[in-house]
Amino acid sequence: MKKELFGRCPFDLDEDVKKIAAINKYIHAKFEEHKNKIDNLKGVEQKLMVLQYFNVLNELSNQAISSLNIGAFSASEVLARVIIEQAANQFYIAIDDGENAQALLKASKKLVHSNGKRWLECLKSKGMTNPAANERIRMGKELTDLFNRLWPNTPEYPGTRKLFELIGWETHYHAHYVPLCDSIHTFSDDMVNIVSLYNAIQSDETTAIEFILAVKQENKRLAIYNFVIATALRCEALVNVFNSLGYQDIITEMTPTIDTVNQTIIRYDDFDHSRIDDCQ
C-alpha cells in the first residue's frame, strides 16, 4: 500500500463533522415538529414502530457524532452501519398499510424461538443446561403463536439484501452497506493498515511517519464519509414517511438540507474518484 494512494484531503474534515452534526439536529427537530402527523399512518403497530425508529436513529446519530469528535472512528463506522440498517427498516415499515410492521414483529419472535432451540441443543450436546435457554424458547413460541393468531396472513419479513431491494436501495446496499459490514465484522481494513505500517517502519522510519499521518487522515475521512451516507439515508427514510402520508410541504422544507448532504457526498466521491484516476 502506498502513501500516495491516500492523497491529501482538500477540505476541512472537522468543519464537515460540525455541519453534519447540525444537519442531524435539524432532522430530529423536523421530526419533533411534525410527529403528530404520524398518527395518520394506518396501522397501530406501524405508528408506534415508525415513531420509535425516529428516536433510535437520533440516539445512534448522536453517538456517532460524539465518536467522530473524540476520534473513535471505528465506533462511528459501526454506528453508521446500524443507522443505515434501521433507516431501511423504518422506510420499509412506513410504505404499506401496516403489514410490514407486523411482519417484523413476527420475524423477531420467531428468531428468538429458533435461537433458543439451537442454544439448548448446543448445551445438551455438552451435558449442560441453562434455564434462560428454555425461557427463550417459551417466550419466543408464545409470542410467535400470538402474532400468528393476530396476523395470520402477514408475509415473511425480508432478509437484509431483499429489504434494500424492496425500498429501492439496492445500489446503496452494494456501494455502502456491504463494504461497511465487511470491514466491521473483522476490522480487516484496520488490520491491513497496521501490518503495512509495521512493514513501512522496518524499511524507512521517515516514510513510515508520513504514512501513519496519511492513514490517520484517511481513517477520519472514511468515518465521516460513511456517517454522511448514513445521514443521507436517514433523511431519505424521513422523507419517505412524510411522502407516504402526503405531506409534500414538509419535504419541500427539507429540500435545502437534503441538498447539502448530497453535495457533501458528491464532494467526497469526487475526491475519491480523482485518486483512482491518478493511480491509473
Give pLDDT tens digits for 84-108: 999 999 999 999 999 999 999 999 9
- Does 134 lie in the same domain as 91? no
CA atoms within 13 A on the CB side of 217: 17
The per-residue pLDDT for 279 is: 57
Contacts of 143 (CB under 8 A, 6+ apart): 109, 112
Using the structure block, give the residue that is written with the C-alpha cell 456517517: 227
The per-residue pLDDT for range 101-157, each reduced to its tens digit, is 999 999 999 999 999 999 999 999 999 999 999 999 999 999 999 999 999 999 999
- Does 199 lie in the same domain as 255? yes
C-alpha cell at 256: 435545502
- Does 179 lie in the same domain as 85? yes
Instruction: Read off the amino acid at residue 162.
Output: K
- On whether residue 277 sits in a domain, the answer given is no
What are the 10-residue block averages of pLDDT along the chain, 280 residues in total?
57 94 95 91 93 97 98 96 98 95 96 96 96 96 95 94 98 96 87 82 76 85 97 95 91 94 94 73
CA atoms within 13 A on the CB side of 115: 11
- Does 187 lie in the same domain as 87? yes
The per-residue pLDDT for 116 is: 96
- Does 184 lie in the same domain as 73? yes
Domain hosting residue 61, numbered range: 10-95+167-271
- Does 104 lie in the same domain as 46? no
- Does 221 lie in the same domain as 105? no
pTM for this prediction = 0.91
- Does 262 lie in the same domain as 124? no
- Does 179 lie in the same domain as 86? yes
- HEC readout, the chain: CCHHHCCCCCCCHHHHHHHHHHHHHHHHHHHHHHHHHHHHCCCHHHHHHHHHHHHHHHHHHHHHHHHHHCCCHHHHHHHHHHHHHHHHHHHHHHCCCCHHHHHHHHHHHHHHHHHHHHHHHHHHHCCCCCHHHHHHHHHHHHHHHHHHHHCCCCCCCCCHHHHHHHCCCHHHHHHHHHHHHHHHHHCHHHHHHHHHHHHHHHHCHHHHHHHHHHHHHHHHHHHHHHHHHHHHHHHHHHHHHHHHCCCHHHHHHHHHHHHHHHHHHHHHHHHHHHHHHHHC
The per-residue pLDDT for 42 is: 87
- On whether residue 111 sits in a domain, the answer given is yes
The per-residue pLDDT for 4 is: 47
CA 106 to the chain's CA centroid: 22
- On whether residue 4 sits in a domain, the answer given is no
- Does 247 lie in the same domain as 196? yes
In the chain, the percentage of residues whose pLDDT exceeds 90 is: 75
The per-residue pLDDT for 26 is: 95
Among the three residues 127, 158, 189, which one is the final residue of a domain in this structure?
Answer: 158
| Number of structural domains in the chain | 2
Q: Residue 7 burial by CB count (10 A; 0-12/13-18/19+): exposed, middle or buried?
A: middle
- Does 201 lie in the same domain as 179? yes
Backbone angles phi, psi at 177, to 5 degrees: -70, -50
- Does 180 lie in the same domain as 125? no
